[in-house]
Amino acid sequence: MYVSYLIIIFLCLAFSIIHKTARQRFLYLYFGVVFVSEILIFTGIFDGSIYKYTKGFYILFFIFYFKELFRLNYNRYVLLFIIITCLFIKNIIGGENLLPVIQSFVYVFLSLEWMIQQIKNPNEISIYHKQKFWFCAGLLLWSTIFLMRIVPSLFFAEKDMIFFQGINHFYQGITIFCYTLFLRGIFTKDNGSNSIENTLKINN
C-alpha cells in the first residue's frame, strides 16, 4: 500500500509541475516536500520524526493556498483560536500529537470556510470545476479520519494491536484516496479563488 501511496504522490507532483493552473498556485512545492520526505522514510534515511518539520510546512502552505480567506478578519481570529486551544489540550492529546492535531483542525477550518464562502458567493463556474473544491474535499476527509483515529489509536496501540493495525491500514487507504482527489483537482482550470476575491473587492 505504501508503494501505491508513493506513486500517487509522484503523479501529483509531476502534474502539478506540468499543469499551468496548479503550477501558478505553487502546488509542486507541497507535493515535492511530501514526496521527498516519504522517499527518505521509505529508504530508511530518516524515520517518522521528520514529520515534526514537514507538518509545520504543510500547515503554512495551505494557509498560503487559501490566503484569500484571511482578507476576512474574523478568519485570522479563528485560526489563532484553533492554535491556542490545541496548546491548552496538549497534555490530553500528547506532545507528539500536538502538531498533527493543529494541522487537522486548520485543514477542517480552511476547507469548511472555503465551501461556505462558495455557497455565499456563487458564480457561473460549477464548484466541481474549481481546483480548491477537490483539495477541500481531500483535506476535510483526511482531517476527519485522522482526528477520529487518534483516540482509539492511543488506547488500542497497547490493548489490541490487531485492531490498531486495522485502523492504520484504513487510514492509509483514505490518505491514498485523498491524494487521488488532489490529483483530480490539479486538472481543473479554475483555482476557486475568484468568487471570494471579487466579493471582497465589491465589499471594500
Q: Which three cell numbers stand for residue 145?
A: 479520519
Reported as a pLDDT band with limits 50, 70 and 90, residue 15 is very high
Determine the 3-state secondary structure of 6 from DSSP: helix
pLDDT the model gives residue 80 = 96
Alpha-carbon distance of 144 to 111, in angstroms, equals 11
**Are 16 and 27 contacting, i.e. CB atoms less than 8 angstroms apart?**
yes
Distance CA 132, CA 186 (A): 9
* Each residue's pLDDT tens digit, 79-130: 999 999 999 988 877 888 899 999 999 999 999 999 999 999 888 889 999 9
**112-150 burial code (b ≥16 CB/10 A, e <16):** ebbbebbeeeeeeeebeebbbbbbbbbbbbbbebbbebb
Domain extent for 133:
2-203
Predicted local distance difference test score (pLDDT) of residue 48: 83
pLDDT in tens, 31-58: 999 999 999 999 999 888 899 899 999 9
Number of domains in the chain: 1
Contact 118, 69 (CB under 8 A): no
In the block, residue with C-alpha cell 476547507? 111
Secondary structure of residue 199 in the 3-state scheme: helix
CA-nearest of 61, 181, 69, 67 to 120 is 69
Q: How confident is the model at residue 152 (pLDDT cuts 50, 70, 90)?
A: low
Q: 25 near 131, Cβ under 8 Å? A: yes
* Residue carrying C-alpha cell 520526505: 37
According to the model, what pLDDT value does residue 52 have? 87
